[in-house]
């Protein structure tokens, strides 16, 4: 009788670590770019000196900044999720469904490396 695998091997965890680190580098780069954009760090435009009578343009600019802030917030949450996944790799608890205790399929972890639930658990939780 074969025993069911309860955790990923060190080699498999190392593969996931590489995936997470590459996604983390991209996510941090994107977040940094968003924050620079929000703070006008890269801009050489006239946003801070333009006349205030351009009400419609200001509304559009405000909406764009709000959308960028939401994106930056989501990106920061994504980064935190990836960092938490690295901690789970160190603890050798990575890839274990937090509801069922079973292994999350490798295919899912390769696509969503910060996942803590299998697709079945996630769907069951929604109901």
Q: What is the pLDDT of residues 76-93, one digit of tens each?
A: 999 999 999 999 999 999
Q: Is residue 56 part of a domain?
A: yes
Does residue 108 fall inside a structural domain?
no
Task: Report the SS3 class of residue 96.
Answer: strand
Place of tokens 């709000």: 66
What domain range is 21 assigned to?
10-94
The pLDDT tens digits of the residues spanning 29-85 come to 999 999 998 887 655 555 555 555 555 556 667 778 889 999 999 999 999 999 999
Domain annotation covers residue 101: no
d(C-alpha 84, C-alpha 36), whole Å: 25
The total of structural domains in the chain comes to 1
Does residue 109 lie in a domain region? no
122 within domain boundaries: no
- Examine residue 46 and state whether it is found in any structural domain, yes or no: yes
């Amino acid at each position: 009788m074969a025993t069911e695998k309860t955790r990923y091997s060190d080699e498999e965890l190392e593969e996931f670590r590489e995936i997470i680190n590459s996604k983390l580098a991209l996510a941090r780069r994107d977040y940094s770019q968003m924050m620079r954009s929000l703070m006008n760090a890269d801009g050489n435009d006239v946003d801070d000196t333009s006349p205030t009578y351009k009400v419609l343009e200001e509304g559009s600019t405000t909406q764009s900044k709000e959308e960028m802030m939401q994106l930056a917030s989501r990106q920061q949450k994504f980064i935190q999720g990836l960092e938490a996944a690295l901690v789970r790799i160190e603890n050798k608890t990575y890839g274990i469904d937090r509801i069922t205790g079973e292994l999350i399929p490798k295919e899912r972890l390769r696509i969503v490396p910060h996942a803590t639930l299998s697709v079945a658990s996630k769907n069951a939780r929604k109901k």
